[in-house]
Structure 1
Amino acid sequence: MAKEGFSTLPDVGTRQAWLVMLKSEYRRLGGGSKYDDDPESRYSWDSTVANHLQVKAGDIVLLWNESGSLGASVIEKIAIGKAIKRRGRCVNDQCRSVNYEPRKTIRPVFRCYDCESLFDDPIFEDVDVTTFRSSHGQAWVDLSGQFTAAELRALCVKPKSQNSFRALRWDAVRALAADEMGGDVFGALDATTRQIQGGHVVRPTRVRRGQKDFRQQLLSKYNNRCAFTGTLPPAVLDACHLYSFAKVGKHHEHGGVLLRRDLHTLFDRGHIAVDHDGRIDVSEEYRRYPAYEGIHGQLLTITTTPEQRGWFELHWAEHRKSTAL
């Protein structure tokens, strides 16, 4: 394996959106190589894939399977390496396509998508490839079941494309999302893009045991209201602990609020805190970004309990030591 490298960021005007097929659902893989994709955080491909060089850090990815949408995010970085890929081909000498698919109940096992030949054993070859692996967990917006496969294909620049990466008409995606889900559900993607282009990349907070129920309780309690910015679509809201869950190990009844995903990450990192008056304090380095400068000094959008105010004060003391209460 060659030394791993990283792609560079594109200019704002060249940002691209891609519809990306989850390979665990994609049948025509051309043989034996498998991937450990996690749609919420990473996606792998190689130099045999169409558009492999066009995908850049800063691009938007909307992942889907054969049923419909899974979610969308922004590529923070792409790790680049080298590997040997075992690839299968059709047995027909006049075809040799890698586009064959398994048949679940009948033999022969495989059917070639291009020439319709039937066979049990593909012809395998080992090829040198460049590998690519995205990191895109920070801005993940859950779109499970929001768009059908037919809707997603219609949003592609080339609706009849069969590629794993298909160029998307992003303005059309946003318009459809606004119609079907209400409001702008992709604000976290825009904020993350500005962070990346400004040279600041922060890591997502991973889901803990019981987090799903904890989040559902907060969604019901606060009626989908982000504590920093107000009401938003549920897809962009995280359940934020006001304390270190890793240290405490349990979900306290009054120990959480809803935050937009990027704000949750910045709160966990101490770049955003709440003072004793219930006003939001954004660190100076992040006030350079309009998305965050606009909430600096604003009051919380929710009414807090004494327990929550206590957690906010402890967080303030930890991350604003020079002016701690």
Structure 2
Amino acid sequence: MTRDYWIFKTVAEVDRSFQTIDSYEDSISEYYNYDSLVPNSKQIKKNDIAIITDKKKILGFASIAYIDISKGEKIIRRCPQCPSTTIDSRKTKFPKYRCNKGHAFDIPLEEPKVVTKFKAVFNTFLPFKGQREDLLQIRPFYTKGYNQNMSMQRLDSKVFKLFGDIEQKLQLDSYNNILSPEQGYVKEEQSPYTVKMKDEREIILQAIKLRRGQQSFRKKLLEKYNRTCIITGCNVVDILEAAHIKPYRGENDHHPNNGLLLRADIHTLFDLNLISINPSTFEVIVSDLLINSEYIKYNKQKLSSTVIESLSGDALKFKWKTFLKNMNNE
């Protein structure tokens, strides 16, 4: 798949054209929100790389793990005298508002519109640490010329020559699972986890490839399980990974009750259905294919009561069925 390069402009609350534009509520180290009315909204895809900026400076660099898509509503504000939606609020002159066509007015028209909402979730975010943070240096690299009114614009890949080995670092973090144990943002606890069957992601092997980039999910599980693998007891944080019980297919599956903290090798075996958990006995079950391996010592080992209480029974049953099917096909 061809990788594209972008600049994503995020707008702080104080800079939102004096409240004529609703905030997209970005979290610059985790995700970038936009909708179907934004130019290039359908062009952004996983594995693309973006430079994140505000109106004046470079904030950081991100690689995109996946795009979440949902339906929603957006309030469109426009000039009462023309179709223009480019409106500024004036601090000292009246009427208060003026559109880019020169019309002045007291209150913009508001029109709700159904849109497709997108969330570009980052696999990796690297904050900018260079000396020159201004945006002028990027201007020559816009593939279709710079447009100050566009928040997402395509860049030539040569732009990364300005930033040393940043692109290589993003790729290493994305594909070789390099992740600081302390990275991640803890969101508020969600409602109880429920299994959803709709497939919103690729096959499980793709999840193995991307799993360490799921920073928020991993951070939650590190705290939940006291930085300890629930099967081996390993507490070397650098090799502990966030495992989904029911394989990841969408944002709903990032619930902590659908998560296990596992040592990297155990995680891979769990994802490949060579190790599982019996939802009736809460015992670790090892596939017959591993009988002659070091992993057989974990067979029939029961999870602690603390771990058991925090797991989704539906997710365990879903995973167990897949494990048994795999066993029968051996």
User: Could you state the TM-score of these two structures normalised by the residue count of structure 2?
Assistant: 0.54
How far apart in 1 are the matches of 2:118 and 2:88? 24
1:71 partner SS: strand
1:99 paired with 2:86, answer yes
Tell me by how many angstroms 1:67 deviates.
Answer: 1.6
CA contact (8 A) 1:74 1:189 kept: yes
How far apart in 2 are the matches of 1:106 and 1:270? 63
Q: Which residue of 2 aligns with 1:201?
A: 210
How far apart in 2 are the matches of 1:79 and 1:269? 26
How far apart in 2 are the matches of 1:322 and 1:188? 37
Q: Which residue of 1 aligns with 2:170?
A: 189
What pairs up with 1:245-260 in 2 under 5 angstroms? Answer: none
What pairs up with 1:113-152 in 2 under 5 angstroms? Answer: 114-136=100-122, 138-143=123-128, 146-152=132-138
How far apart in 1 are the matches of 2:241 and 2:92? 47
How far apart in 1 are the matches of 2:98 and 2:240? 48
| Residues 1:189 and 1:150: Cα distance change in structure 2 (over 3 Å) | same
Deviations along 1:49-102, one digit per CA (max 9) or x if unpaired, are: 101111111111211011211111111111111112111012223xx2111122
Structure 1, unpaired ranges of 5+: 1-10, 179-183, 207-239, 250-254, 274-282, 286-319
1:85 partner SS: strand
- Residue identity in the other structure for 2:124: A
CA contact (8 A) 1:108 1:119 kept: yes
Identity of aligned residues (%): 23
CA contact (8 A) 1:80 1:130 kept: yes
How far apart in 2 are the matches of 1:85 and 1:109? 23
Please give the root-mean-square deviation of Cα atoms over the aligned residues, in Å: 4.0
Q: Which residue of 1 aligns with 2:258?
A: none
Tell me by how many angstroms 1:264 deviates.
Answer: 9.1
Deviations along 1:31-55, one digit per CA (max 9) or x if unpaired, are: 4533221111011111111011111
CA contact (8 A) 1:31 1:89 kept: no
CA contact (8 A) 1:30 1:98 kept: no
1:75 partner SS: strand
How far apart in 2 are the matches of 1:61 and 1:193? 13
How far apart in 2 are the matches of 1:264 and 1:111? 55
CA contact (8 A) 2:240 2:263 kept: no
- Residue identity in the other structure for 1:201: L
| Residues 1:31 and 1:247: Cα distance change in structure 2 (over 3 Å) | same
Tell me by how many angstroms 1:185 deviates.
Answer: 2.7
| Residues 1:264 and 1:121: Cα distance change in structure 2 (over 3 Å) | farther
CA contact (8 A) 1:21 1:65 kept: yes
Tell me by how many angstroms 1:134 deviates.
Answer: 1.5
2:70 partner SS: strand
| Residues 1:22 and 1:70: Cα distance change in structure 2 (over 3 Å) | same
How far apart in 2 are the matches of 1:106 and 1:155? 38
Specify which of 109, 130, 151 is matched with residue 164 of structure 1: 151
